[in-house]
Chains A and B, each alone.
Chain A
Amino acid sequence: MSETTNSPILKTDAITMRFGGLVAVNRFSMELGSNDLVGVIGPNGAGKTTIFNMITGHYEPTEGNIFLADNNINGLRPAFITQNGIARTFQNIRLFKDLSVLDNIRLAAHYTVDYGLLANVFRTKKYHQEEERVKNEAIELLKIFGLENKQQHLAKNLPYGEQRRLEIARALATKPKVLLLDEPAAGMNPKETKDLTELIRWVRDKFQIAVLLIEHDMKLVMEVCERIYVVDHGELIAHGGPKDIQNNPKVIEAYLGTSDTEAEA
């Protein structure tokens, strides 16, 4: 196995998820360096999104532990895991559709806001200072993503590609150390996918964070990821650089089925 470039920021230690008798993910272990760009691939139903849901706290692993920078985050609520530095996007975009683009970003900064409920209602000096800060930071981020002209638009009125971008921007507004992208290229045309490839790489470099992505689009994964974990039926079947993965017989088997000669062997 190829080693991580630096000490791991995120580590899963043999996490298992059972739903009744079904083992969705079985003893999955992985490591993510603090500036890595790693992919998780696998056929439909392999358990990729379940892995994401365990890391982000939507599910609690039946067994195993998850460490974020040496802290065990197992069993924490999703909100607190996000506050600790893991942000995510969703397979089917989950923006706050009826809120403005600006409000979407501002909401992600909510937990950093340093005024109480009463300050909110009485609109104290602190409230105005903090609102100003949050707004400016949100606009900065929107500028980076080229959405500053649309800050008053409702999120649902943006074109698909921009909704994807806004969702990534919103995840980054929580100031994460690790960004999880769940099928970011789903529903995109080749041109948009290409732009996205650039964007992912650029986000990693610009924000100096680790990126973990689930993707079906092989071209994107092979192009952008430094290391790839392949899962099938909840099991980790391969791990390595894009080249190794492409030539790994187990991977080919998982995706294309067994060839006759191998079946006989």
Chain B
Amino acid sequence: MDYFIFLAQLSGIFIILAVSLNLINGICGQFSLGHAGFWAVGAYTGAAFTVFLNLPVPGFVNLLLSCGASFIAASIAGLIIGVPCLRLRGDYLAIATLGFGEIIRIIIMNMESVGGPRGFTGIPKLANIGWVYLWVAITVIFVANLLRGSHGRAIISIREDEIAAESMGIYTFKYKTLAFVIGAGFAGVAGTLYAHTQEFLAPTGFTFMWSVIILLMVILGGLGSITGSIVGAIILTVLPELLRFFGQTVSEWRMVIYSLLLICLMLARPGGIFGKHEFNILKFLRLDKKENA
């Protein structure tokens, strides 16, 4: 049972990561491969906040404060990386962000105060499933509400046609940076929650592969769809674990099966599970009724 709760908690953390990357990649259309870097900044900031400051307040207050601190730290990292990188486009941007993501990891690796390559130990286990899903709700509502207003539309317009957006009086650089900073900030929060779930952090846990996996979650669910990112994050967290339960052979081949499932899904639905659309439970049920009638 504990294992399932742990899995649900991990899924929640990846939902935050996927939704925040979706804001950058799917909604704003800026191809970033440095998300694991912001995740790491948040994780280490949050962990350092609780371990070193050790504020005499109840655990959950400490967790919320460290989430706030990591949001700010990761946003600042996003700003520092975003301002030079966002002048680039497409593949070049992807490579530049990839590079910065690795730089962050290597800086952490060489910081003795947070354990360096040995890892950061002794982080209190403050996060539980409730706090993780509170932050999931905050992230999803934040992004969804943003998209319903003019500032969110401005971010979407950059994905649609940057030159046209600029010609319509939208200062695109500002909105690209904004999407990047907010996305990085929420990745930072996910990092803090992760640190206080695992009780241990190692720089090897934030490699470029993780940026790719988070990106996979977003693409699997559908670039630009928030509900898609949520489903994508759950599938890619649960699926590799689920395959463990199908006996010895399946378990041995699970990474192969997992890859094959991904390939099949992308062949069947190249735009991701939901494409650019949102899954709406009310619409879905109404549609059902019509079909039954």
Contacts and interface: CB of A to CB of B under 8 A. Distances in A.
Contact of A103 (B142, B153, B161): B153
A106 to B, nearest CB: 6
A59 to B, nearest CB: 12
A134 B150 CA distance: 9
Contacts of B166: 77-79, 82
B56 interface: no
A38 B198 CA distance: 69
A27 to B, nearest CB: 26
A131 B150 contact: yes
Nearest to B150: A113
Given A121-B142, A130-B150, A134-B150, A110 B167 contact: no
B172 A79 contact: yes
Nearest to B172: A79
- Sort chain B's interface into a size bin: 20 to 34
Interface residues of A, number: 38
Interface string A60-85: 00000000000000000111101100
Given A121-B146, A122-B145, A131-B149, A96 B157 contact: yes
Contacts of B256: none
B165 interface: yes
A110 B146 contact: no
Interface in A141-185: 170, 174
A131 B166 CA distance: 21
B119 interface: no
Nearest to A97: B160
Contacts of A107: 153-154, 157, 165, 168, 170
Interface stretch (A86-94, A195-203, A207-215): A86-94
A195 B165 CA distance: 27
A56 interface: yes
A98 B156 CA distance: 10
B167 A96 contact: no
Contacts of B87: none
B156 A99 contact: yes
Contacts of A98: 160, 276
A121 B166 CA distance: 23
A79 B154 CA distance: 12
B50 to A, nearest CB: 27
A79 B170 contact: yes
Nearest to B143: A121
A99 B147 CA distance: 12
B68 interface: no
Contacts of A131: 149-150
A230 B247 CA distance: 79
B146 A79 contact: no
A139 B126 CA distance: 51
A88 B150 contact: no
Given A110-B153, A110-B154, A120-B146, A82 B167 contact: yes
Contact of A123 (B149, B154, B167): B149
B261 interface: no
A58 interface: yes
A66 to B, nearest CB: 16
A172 to B, nearest CB: 11
> Which 9 residue pairs spanning A and B have beta carbons closest together?
A120-B149, A82-B169, A96-B160, A94-B164, A111-B169, A113-B150, A79-B171, A78-B166, A120-B151
